[in-house]
């Protein structure tokens, strides 16, 4: 007799999913209504029906290596149409939450970010790091003259104080660390997904340029246009919140990089560059527009989620609320710090700037393990999907 | 009785426009019957005309020539001392009139249709002359006590319900304890809202309720040796469980076997038993019997690939329940519901929906007893009817209960553990499930499958007949008459009737108790219990001419007729269902009902006017079963389906009641064919009297031979099966038969 899959249901995994928003998963009775409404579902892969029974059976290994789970962007059609109230969309969200923790590097940090009760520690880490550096730098006092966040870490002056660069010392490694964590997590995911392919389809390895041009870039284009969002029924208006958020992120990343290079690189040598940008500066205009877009976008998502929870009886989870909270914190503290700076309320301005740094630090450090990680995991899952469907893989014998 | 006729022709519903009413009236007058017409005989005013005639002129046999006898039954029932005869001019003639075609013009059709109506008039007048008003058979005594056989949930509930309704109950249980199978349950399926979790067994409450009920006499350690007599007066002989007594019910001995016994070629199997006709003076008397003898776990040994009996720890659900009650539940258990592997997806035999629910219950034990317990349910069908859907949902919500539809191909032993191999699962993978124990969802085999159980002391033997058609369930027609067995006065409930869960068993037992009460009350009034409920006619025998041919005693589908040593039938009116199969069987034509006799139908056949010089005007008589085929033709007429106007339809109680003399009557009066339309017969029969249409088919084959010997084509007589849903086909069935007759040409003996 042929060998079948040796099933070892993981009761802990089921419990995790139930606590992470998938409390309804056991209700599914496999009618496949979800697969009929889901645009991701194919003839030979009834999605998310099969994921539902895998979840019921606690088949963790299969689920974390399932690209479909990552490709789902929770349009909510399956949940709306489910006749049994099993809410497949929410279950898939819970599986993704689990997957980010599962693939997260290092595991300790990933686990820390998986539960709401750890939020105080998550806040405390950057607060202590930035607070101690701030205190040691000697910048923790109200400086004379105009408010200039450029002198947050000390104001000793020749061209620029060395302590100014403390900000780079904190944030650049954090960012690099996050990127490395992403790299580790995504390559684990990729290996897991590839292992699920039939043996004959596992051998193709694309070159880097081919990988980027044929798999990643088309995926990014698709994401930017929010093409798949537009196929959604139930949660269609999420585009109006999510799209400004995406572009705001990109814009803010760009202006921050610009500001850092201009102020803290060229500013080292050229006097007068280490000052706030004027409001007429195109970069400043972009920054403010993006800042507002960020707050508005995340505000829309906030309202949407509250409404979903109210109307669809969805269970609120830390996984879903953390990204909304942290992005809102980044946006509001940044904007408020600028307003108090202009209003010349120094205490408030510096305090809010400190909070802004703390929230940006959290944004950088924790993104690989929280819902925000979807920006990379999903992109690579889409790339994997294109890879799997590509002629190169299919042709392998 | 003084018979006074009154003919009432209705001109409503299109009858007046389509038919020559004057001509019809003339026929009544020819028969010496006063006739009146009314535009709506069924109306208050129309019926008042009849009532007035009854009051003023003493009319007691109104002949209503209007709609089908199946409608306005109550309105045209004029009470005691009267009997209504109906001529079906509406559905039978006007509504089913042919439409003009190349073969028949409107003129010809009008002529044919009027002839049809006139024949129905003649037949109705003849029927009126021949009919008599039946009087209910008089019972000497009616005993109202109810015997309940079996002290499980079904028997206990039936006993209690019957007692609550005011009947004394004799409850017989063969073991020494009441409670039955439920005593071995660790927990029971939910019986009330919210239906989602297991309950502690409530059997003890039921047992003590029965034990303390003053109307109920309980006899444990006791079996029923024989049940003699008839509804209202059953004689029950009891015995100690497991013993053999002279009063045990004798085995059935066929006529041939009796011959051999007499010649000494065969041993009498009933040596030492009292003859079945002998009455035990010490017998307990009851009015009706409820059979609740339950079930035994069905055998699973035929499914060798599942390893029961070979591999340790492969057990049946019944065995697992016992282990569970003792607290021996392992942590990883697979429940297999369907043993067919890749050949079929059937559940275990005798499973019904119960095994699904038992698997859910027992999966619950695995979870209760093991914090990390895992229960796998592999099913082809998950059947949780009614509120049990909530129980299914509850089990499904349990983290450690895993369910999938699956084809289980085998169970193997691997390193001390069991591996269940499953294909075609919902997980889209073949599975190898490693478990500590495998539980097979064995079904509930009714006790009637293996023994006569009821132990009747009847001419036709101690058990129910033809049970192989129903896998051993004592059944007369599961869909139409769920409680009925083929023995009037004996009603089954619980596991012996159907694999049922507890809630269903309780409902079932209430139903059986009500049926038993209905039977006793009907017997007391001398009327039929079922399916002709309330029919006060019964077959009467003219014994002087009986030749002891035993056909009636053999053919009665309900074993109503016993016989004496010579073979003369001994009628039991309260066992009788009034189908008339005995009347159809009798070659001497000595069995008839007051209102349904050999003479009456025969005369109706002969009343048809048969033209002997017109080859286009063939005459076909159709005896149509009034249970399904006749309503079916009515329905066709209501849908304006044309019926061939050469056919003269006579409704009969059952094809079994069709005596072959009527066919001879038809042929000798020059009719060209005789058609019998009745219910389906065979393994999935639909006959309301179980055997009637099948017996009719055999008789017709025989009469065909007789006709052949007379030089008539056997094809002129035929039986066709019609279901009640065949209203779109019945006209074609008739036309095909007529086409065959047309090919044969007219009856060569016409006019002689």
| Tens-place pLDDT, residues B588-609 | 999 999 999 999 999 999 999 9
Determine which helix (DSSP H) or strand (DSSP E) holds A95, and give its type and residue range. Answer: helix A88-103
Across the range B327-331, mean pLDDT stands at 94
B81 φ/ψ angles, rounded to the nearest 5 degrees:
85, 0
Close Cβ partners of B74 (under 8 Å, ≥ 6 residues apart): none
Q: What is the pLDDT of residue B128?
A: 97
Q: What is the pLDDT of residue A157?
A: 45
Q: ∠ CA(A260), CA(A265), CA(A267), 5° rounding?
A: 95
Interface probe with A: pick from B393, B426, B430, B432, most Cβ of A within 10 Å = B426
pLDDT in tens, B621-673: 999 999 999 999 999 999 999 999 999 999 999 999 999 999 999 999 999 99
Average per-residue pLDDT in chain A?
86
Contact state of A5 with B432 under an 8 Å Cβ cutoff? yes
* Cα(B381)–Cα(B392) distance, integer angstroms: 13
B503 φ/ψ angles, rounded to the nearest 5 degrees:
-60, -45
Q: What is the pLDDT of residue B478?
A: 66
B-chain residues near A2 (CB < 8 A): 430
**Nearest Cα to Cα of residue B241 among B263, B259, B219, B258:** B219
Q: What is the pLDDT of residue B530?
A: 87
- Grouping H, G, I as helix, E, B as strand and the rest as coil, residue A120 is helix
DSSP A116: G
Q: What is the pLDDT of residue B8?
A: 97
Contact state of B402 with A11 under an 8 Å Cβ cutoff? no
Average per-residue pLDDT in chain B?
94
Strands B673-678, B216-220: pairing kind: unpaired
Residue A289 has pLDDT above 90, yes or no: yes
Residue B331 CB coordination number (10 Å):
17
Q: How far is CA B375 from CA B68, B316, B403, in A?
A: 61, 15, 8
pLDDT in tens, B70-82: 999 999 999 989 9
Residue A165 has pLDDT above 80, yes or no: no
Q: What is the pLDDT of residue A394?
A: 57
**Nearest Cα to Cα of residue A166 among A197, A124, A140, A130:** A130
Across the range B47-58, mean pLDDT stands at 96
* Cα(B298)–Cα(B352) distance, integer angstroms: 12
CA-nearest residue of chain B to A85?
B393
* Site of tokens 């409390």: A23
The pTM of the full predicted model, rounded to 2 decimals, is 0.86
Residue A160 has pLDDT above 60, yes or no: no
Q: Which tokens sit at B738?
A: 């007529």
CA-nearest residue of chain A to B371?
A11
Partners of B285 in beta bridges: B235
CA-nearest residue of chain B to A3?
B432
Q: Which tokens sit at B233?
A: 């007066």
The string over B671-694, giving b where at least 16 C-beta atoms fall within 10 Å of a residue's C-beta and e elsewhere, is bbbbbbbbbbbeeebbbbbbbbbb
B747 φ/ψ angles, rounded to the nearest 5 degrees:
-55, 120
- The helix/strand count (H/E) of chain A reads as 18, 1
Contact state of A29 with B396 under an 8 Å Cβ cutoff? yes
Confidence of residue B301 (pLDDT cuts 50, 70, 90): very high
Q: CB-based contact (8 Å) between B421 and chain A?
A: yes
Residue B475 has pLDDT above 90, yes or no: no
Report the CATH number of the B1-133 domain: 3.40.50
Nearest to A9 among B374, B429, B432 (CB): B374
**B209: distance to nearest CA of chain A, Å?**
40
Partners of B437 in beta bridges: B333
- Grouping H, G, I as helix, E, B as strand and the rest as coil, residue B513 is helix
Q: CB-based contact (8 Å) between B367 and chain A?
A: no
Taken as a whole, chain B contains a residue count of: 752
Confidence of residue A158 (pLDDT cuts 50, 70, 90): very low
Complex confidence, ipTM: 0.81
- The helix/strand count (H/E) of chain B reads as 18, 30
pLDDT in tens, B349-389: 999 999 999 999 999 999 999 999 999 999 999 999 999 99
* Cα(B629)–Cα(B622) distance, integer angstroms: 11
Q: What is the pLDDT of residue A2?
A: 66
Strands B222-230, B233-240: pairing kind: antiparallel
* Cα(B135)–Cα(B527) distance, integer angstroms: 9
Q: What is the pLDDT of residue A396?
A: 46
The domain B299-442 having CATH identifier 3.30.450.20: the answer here is: no
CATH of the domain spanning B146-296+446-525, picked from 3.30.460.10, 3.50.50.60, 3.40.50.300, 3.40.640.10: 3.50.50.60
**B376: distance to nearest CA of chain A, Å?**
9
Confidence of residue A213 (pLDDT cuts 50, 70, 90): confident
Domain boundaries of chain A, sorted by first residue: 11-103, 108-395
Q: Which tokens sit at B392?
A: 């299914």
What is the DSSP secondary-structure string of A65-93?
A: T-HHHHH----SHHHHH-TT---HHHHHH
The CB-side HSE value for B69 (13 A sphere, CA atoms) comes to 17
* Cα(B526)–Cα(B58) distance, integer angstroms: 27
* Cα(B213)–Cα(B302) distance, integer angstroms: 45
**Nearest Cα to Cα of residue B716 among B744, B696, B693, B736:** B744
Q: What is the pLDDT of residue A162?
A: 63
Tell me how far the alpha carbon of residue A352 is from its chain's centroid.
23
Q: What is the pLDDT of residue B173?
A: 97
Tell me how far the alpha carbon of residue A40 is from its chain's centroid.
22
A-chain residues near B412 (CB < 8 A): 1
H helices of B221-335, in order, are: 255-263, 317-325
**A35: distance to nearest CA of chain B, Å?**
13
Identical fold, B146-296+446-525 and B299-442: yes
Q: CB-based contact (8 Å) between B398 and chain A?
A: yes
Neighbour order of strands in the sheet with B490-492: B216-220, B169-173, B146-149, B288-291, B490-492
Q: Which tokens sit at B57?
A: 């002129």
Q: Which tokens sit at B658?
A: 């069709």
Q: Which tokens sit at A48?
A: 């998310």
Strands (E), B517-627: 540-541, 562-563, 569-570, 591-592, 620-625
Confidence of residue A328 (pLDDT cuts 50, 70, 90): very high
* Cα(B444)–Cα(B496) distance, integer angstroms: 9
Residue A397 has pLDDT above 50, yes or no: no
Q: Give yes or no for a contact between B128 and B27, defined as CB atoms under 8 angstroms apart.
A: no
Q: Give yes or no for a contact between B108 and B101, defined as CB atoms under 8 angstroms apart.
A: no
pLDDT in tens, B178-208: 999 999 999 999 999 999 889 999 999 999 9
Residue A364 has pLDDT above 90, yes or no: yes
DSSP A260: I
Q: Which tokens sit at B355?
A: 């095994």
Residue B495 has pLDDT above 60, yes or no: yes
Nearest to B430 among A5, A15, A26 (CB): A5
pLDDT > 70 in chain A, percent: 93
Residue A32 has pLDDT above 50, yes or no: yes
B188 φ/ψ angles, rounded to the nearest 5 degrees:
-115, 160
- Grouping H, G, I as helix, E, B as strand and the rest as coil, residue B30 is helix
- Grouping H, G, I as helix, E, B as strand and the rest as coil, residue B737 is helix
CA-nearest residue of chain A to B389?
A29
Domain boundaries of chain B, sorted by first residue: 1-133, 146-296+446-525, 299-442, 596-752
Residue A155 has pLDDT above 70, yes or no: no
Q: Which tokens sit at A5?
A: 């899959």
Residue B291 has pLDDT above 70, yes or no: yes
Q: Which fold has domain B596-752?
A: Rossmann fold (3.40.50)
Contact state of A57 with B427 under an 8 Å Cβ cutoff? yes
CA-nearest residue of chain B to A18?
B399
Across the range A249-276, mean pLDDT stands at 83
* Cα(B400)–Cα(B378) distance, integer angstroms: 14
Q: CB-based contact (8 Å) between B568 and chain A?
A: no
Across the range A176-181, mean pLDDT stands at 95
Across the range B4-30, mean pLDDT stands at 95
What is the DSSP secondary-structure string of B52-103?
A: HHHHHH---EEEEEES-TTSSTTTT---TT---EEEE-IIIIITT-----SS
Q: CB-based contact (8 Å) between B393 and chain A?
A: yes
Rg for chain A (alpha carbons), in Å?
23
Confidence of residue A291 (pLDDT cuts 50, 70, 90): very high
pLDDT in tens, A183-206: 999 999 999 888 888 777 777 778
* Site of tokens 């201009």: A262
Q: What is the pLDDT of residue A280?
A: 87
A-chain residues near B421 (CB < 8 A): 1, 4
* Cα(B518)–Cα(B383) distance, integer angstroms: 33
Contact state of A26 with B404 under an 8 Å Cβ cutoff? no
Interface probe with A: pick from B356, B380, B413, B427, most Cβ of A within 10 Å = B427
Nearest to B430 among A2, A14, A57 (CB): A2
């Amino acid at each position: 007799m042929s060998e079948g899959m040796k099933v070892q249901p993981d009761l802990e995994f089921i419990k995790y999913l139930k606590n992470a928003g998938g409390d309804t998963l056991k209700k599914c009775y496999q009618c496949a209504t979800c697969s009929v409404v889901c645009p991701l579902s194919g003839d030979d892969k009834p999605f998310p029906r099969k994921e539902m029974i895998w979840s019921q059976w606690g088949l963790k290994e299969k689920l974390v290596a399932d690209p479909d789970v990552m490709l789902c962007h929770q349009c909510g059609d399956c949940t709306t149409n489910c006749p049994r109230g099993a809410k497949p969309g929410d279950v898939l969200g819970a599986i993704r939450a689990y997957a980010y923790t599962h693939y997260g590097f290092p595991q300790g940090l990933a686990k820390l970010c998986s539960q709401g009760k750890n939020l105080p520690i998550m806040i405390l880490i950057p607060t202590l790091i930035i607070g101690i550096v701030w205190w040691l730098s000697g910048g923790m006092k109200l400086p004379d003259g105009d408010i200039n966040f450029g002198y947050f870490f000390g104001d000793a002056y020749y061209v620029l104080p060395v302590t100014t660069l403390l900000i780079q010392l904190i944030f650049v490694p954090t960012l690099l660390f996050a990127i490395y964590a992403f790299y580790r997590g995504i390559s684990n995911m990729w290996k897991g997904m590839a292992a699920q392919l039939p043996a004959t389809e596992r051998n193709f390895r694309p070159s880097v340029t081919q990988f980027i041009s044929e798999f990643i870039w088309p995926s990014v284009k698709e994401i930017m246009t929010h093409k798949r969002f537009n196929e959604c029924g139930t949660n269609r208006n999420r585009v109006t919140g999510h799209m400004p958020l995406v572009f705001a992120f990109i814009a803010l990343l760009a202006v921050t990089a610009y500001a850092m290079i201009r102020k803290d690189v060229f500013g080292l040598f050229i006097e007068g560059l280490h000052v706030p940008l004027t409001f007429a500066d195109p970069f400043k205009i972009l920054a403010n527009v993006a800042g507002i877009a960020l707050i508005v976008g995340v505000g829309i998502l906030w309202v949407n989620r509250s409404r979903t929870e109210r109307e669809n009886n969805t269970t609120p989870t830390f996984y879903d609320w953390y990204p909304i909270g942290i992005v809102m914190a980044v946006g509001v503290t940044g904007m408020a710090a600028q307003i108090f700076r202009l209003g010349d309320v120094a205490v408030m301005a510096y305090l809010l700037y400190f909070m802004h740094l703390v929230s940006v630090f959290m944004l950088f450090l924790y993104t690989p393990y929280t819902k925000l990680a979807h920006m990379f995991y999903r992109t690579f899952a889409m790339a994997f999907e294109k890879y799997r469907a590509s002629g190169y893989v299919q042709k392998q014998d | 009785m003084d018979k006074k006729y009154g003919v009432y022709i209705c001109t409503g519903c299109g009858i007046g426009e389509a038919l020559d009413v004057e001509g019809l009236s003339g026929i009544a007058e020819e028969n010496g019957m006063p006739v009146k017409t009314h535009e709506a005989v069924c109306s208050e005013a129309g019926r008042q005309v009849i009532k007035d005639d009854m009051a003023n002129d003493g009319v007691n046999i109104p002949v209503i020539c209007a709609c089908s006898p199946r409608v306005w039954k109550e309105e045209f029932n004029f009470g005691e001392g009267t009997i209504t005869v109906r001529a079906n001019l509406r559905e039978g003639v006007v509504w089913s009139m042919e439409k003009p075609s190349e073969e028949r013009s409107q003129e010809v059709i009008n002529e044919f249709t009027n002839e049809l109506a006139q024949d129905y008039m003649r037949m109705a007048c003849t029927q009126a002359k021949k009919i008599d008003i039946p009087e209910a058979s008089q019972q000497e005594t009616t005993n109202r006590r109810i015997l309940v056989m079996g002290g499980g949930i079904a028997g206990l509930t039936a006993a209690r319900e019957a007692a609550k309704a005011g009947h004394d109950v004799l409850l017989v249980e063969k073991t020494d304890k009441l409670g039955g199978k439920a005593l071995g349950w660790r927990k029971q399926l939910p019986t009330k809202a919210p239906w989602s979790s297991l309950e502690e067994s409530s059997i003890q409450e039921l047992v003590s309720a029965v034990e303390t009920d003053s109307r109920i006499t309980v006899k444990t350690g006791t079996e029923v040796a024989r049940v003699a007599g008839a509804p209202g007066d059953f004689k029950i002989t009891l015995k100690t469980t497991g013993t053999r007594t002279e009063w045990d019910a004798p085995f059935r001995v066929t006529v041939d076997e009796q011959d051999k016994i007499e010649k000494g070629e065969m041993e009498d199997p009933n040596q030492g038993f009292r003859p079945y006709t002998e009455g035990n003076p010490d017998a307990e008397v009851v009015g009706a019997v409820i059979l609740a003898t339950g079930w035994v776990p069905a055998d699973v040994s035929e499914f060798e690939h599942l390893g029961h009996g070979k591999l340790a720890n492969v057990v049946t659900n019944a065995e697992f329940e016992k282990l569970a009650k003792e607290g021996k539940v392992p942590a990883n258990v697979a429940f297999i519901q369907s043993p067919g592997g890749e050949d079929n997806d059937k559940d275990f035999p005798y499973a019904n929906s119960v095994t699904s629910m038992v698997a859910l219950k027992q999966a619950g034990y695995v979870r209760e007893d093991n914090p990390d317990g895992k229960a796998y349910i592999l099913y082809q069908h998950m059947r949780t009817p009614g509120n049990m859907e909530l129980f299914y949902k509850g089990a499904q919500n349990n983290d450690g209960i895993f369910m999938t539809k699956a084809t289980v191909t085998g169970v193997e032993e691997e390193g001390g553990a069991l591996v269940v191999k499953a294909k075609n699962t919902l997980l889209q993978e073949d599975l190898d499930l490693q478990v500590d124990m495998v539980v097979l969802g064995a079904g509930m085999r009714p006790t009637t499958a293996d023994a006569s159980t009821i132990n009747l002391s009847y001419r036709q033997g101690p058990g129910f007949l033809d049970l192989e058609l129903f896998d051993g369930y004592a059944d007369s027609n599961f869909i139409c008459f769920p409680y009925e067995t083929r023995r009037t006065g004996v009603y089954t409930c619980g596991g012996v009737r159907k694999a049922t869960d507890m809630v269903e068993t309780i409902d079932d037992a209430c139903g059986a108790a009500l049926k038993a009460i209905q039977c006793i009350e009907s017997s007391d009034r001398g009327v039929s219990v079922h399916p002709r409920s309330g029919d006060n006619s019964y077959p009467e025998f003219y014994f002087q001419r009986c030749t002891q041919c035993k056909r009636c005693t053999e053919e009665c589908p309900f074993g109503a007729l016993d016989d004496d040593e010579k073979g003369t039938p001994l009628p039991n009116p309260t066992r009788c269902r009034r189908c008339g199969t005995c009347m159809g069987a009798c070659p001497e034509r000595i069995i008839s009902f007051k209102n349904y006799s050999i003479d009456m139908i025969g005369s109706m056949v002969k009343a048809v006017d048969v033209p002997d010089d017109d080859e286009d005007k063939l005459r076909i008589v159709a005896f149509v079963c009034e249970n399904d085929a006749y309503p079916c033709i009515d329905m066709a007429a209501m849908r304006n389906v044309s019926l061939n106007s050469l056919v003269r339809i006579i409704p009969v109680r059952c094809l079994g009641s069709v005596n072959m003399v009527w066919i001879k009557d038809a042929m000798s009066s020059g009719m060209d064919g005789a058609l019998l339309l009745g219910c389906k017969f065979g393994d999935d029969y639909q006959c309301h009297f179980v055997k009637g249409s099948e017996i009719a088919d055999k008789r017709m084959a025989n009469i065909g031979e007789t006709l052949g010997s007379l030089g008539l084509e056997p094809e002129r007589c035929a039986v066709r099966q019609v279901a009640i849903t065949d209203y779109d086909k019945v006209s074609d069935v008739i036309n095909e038969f007529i086409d065959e007759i047309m090919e044969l040409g007219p009856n060569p003996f016409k006019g002689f």
